[in-house]
Amino acid sequence: MAKAKIVIVGAGVMGQGLAEAIATTGQEVTLVDRTTKVAEKGIKKISEAMDREISRWGLTKADKRANLSRIHPSSDLSVAEDAEIVFEAIHEDLEKKRALFEKLDSICNQDAILVTNTGTISVSEIASATIRPHKVIGMHFLNPVTKIPLVEIVKGLKTDEATFQRAVAFANLLDKKHITVTEYPGYVTTRIIVVMLNEAMHVLMEGVASAEDIDDAMKLGFGFNIGPLALADMMGLDVVMSWMENLLRELSDHKYNPCPVLRKLVRAGHLGVKTGKGFFEYDAEGNRISEFRNGRVAAEVTK
């Protein structure tokens, strides 16, 4: 099997976005998940995202074919044997990430750098599962990766300067503005945004305003491109809740305690755009359903 220079482990939303962004630069990338079928499903989602861009005149069919040809599915971690850079984009779970990095450490050559996309977990804790903590770094991309021009580059306690510079070069390749973050739970973006999302959820739960009006208030009043409740739906409510729970454990601060309405929605399986229901309702392509029905799911679950 051919070995890959850039490997992404995790074919979920973040892995898909990162693979698409890399392929757009002309680089080959291998997308790895627990089965090839799951990895192929991730690539199918990338194809659908590209179709939406084509419909908006943001991409041509030829661009799509070229980009998809550079993304290769796999279920075999050994494709990372000769990789120069390996990205981890799996679920926000410390033990699972540590187990993966331990495996990668034994597979990858000693010059490879290992990158985690975690938004809340300690890079140093993840790196301690390896014998190369100096070559482990965080690159926290935001969703959608292809649209958001920012990446947080997070140094672990033992990350060396050479690894940091390679991460900066990769951010530049993707045309991302990077900010340098000293390791601390939640970094910059996650730590700030989850408090706003949580407060918006409390405002909804307390009956102060509807989901639609809360989002309109923040968009029109403060110039946000998207309201906090729609943003939470886009991120995935299960993901948002896991971020809050991780920060609550790390910092013991009540402001990170997930709002009860968020817990109810997650328990009901209403995870936002990816399931079609969250604080709002969505069609199969992720578009908001008519205004008449917007907010109905959230309104029902807060009763």
Q: What is the pLDDT of residues 87-131, one digit of tens each?
A: 999 998 999 999 999 999 999 999 999 999 998 899 999 999 999
* Triad 47, 171, 48: Cα angle to 5°: 10
Mean predicted confidence (pLDDT) in 127-148? 95
pLDDT at 137 > cutoff 70: yes
pLDDT at 290 > cutoff 80: no
Name the pLDDT band for 291 (thresholds 50, 70, 90): very low
Which residue has better confidence, 298 or 109? 109
Q: Domain coordinates of the chain in residue numbers?
A: 6-182, 190-301
Which CATH number applies to 6-182? 3.40.50.720
Name the pLDDT band for 299 (thresholds 50, 70, 90): low
- Model pLDDT, residue 4: 60
Name the pLDDT band for 300 (thresholds 50, 70, 90): low
pLDDT at 1 > cutoff 50: no
Q: Residue 60 and residue 51: Cα distance in Å, rounded?
A: 9
For the stretch 47-94, pLDDT in tens is 999 998 999 888 999 999 999 999 999 999 999 999 999 999 999 899
Q: Residue 145 and residue 174: Cα distance in Å, rounded?
A: 10
Q: Is 0.85 surpassed by the pTM of this model?
A: yes
Name the pLDDT band for 302 (thresholds 50, 70, 90): low
Q: Residue 157 and residue 56: Cα distance in Å, rounded?
A: 44
User: Is residue 52 classed as helix, strand or coil in its secondary structure?
Assistant: helix
- Model pLDDT, residue 86: 98
Question: 140-160 burial by CB neighbour count: b if 16+ within 10 A, else e?
Answer: bbbbebbeeeebbbbbbebbb
Name the pLDDT band for 298 (thresholds 50, 70, 90): low
For all residues of the chain together, what is the average pLDDT?
92
- Model pLDDT, residue 301: 65
Q: Measured in Å, how far apart are the chain's first and last C-alpha atoms?
A: 55
For the stretch 185-233, pLDDT in tens is 889 999 999 999 999 999 999 999 999 999 999 999 999 999 999 999 9
Burial of 239: CB neighbours in 10 Å, binned 0-12, 13-18, 19+: buried
| Homologous superfamily (CATH) for 190-301 | N-(1-d-carboxylethyl)-l-norvaline Dehydrogenase; domain 2 (1.10.1040.10)
CATH topology agreement for domains 6-182 and 190-301: no
Burial of 164: CB neighbours in 10 Å, binned 0-12, 13-18, 19+: middle
Do the Cβ atoms of 218 and 204 come closer than 8 Å? no
pLDDT at 295 > cutoff 70: no
- Model pLDDT, residue 292: 41
CB within 8 Å of 267: residues ≥ 6 apart? none
Percent of the chain with pLDDT over 90: 84
For residue 58, give Cα distances in angstroms to 29, 50, 51, 190. Answer: 22, 9, 10, 29
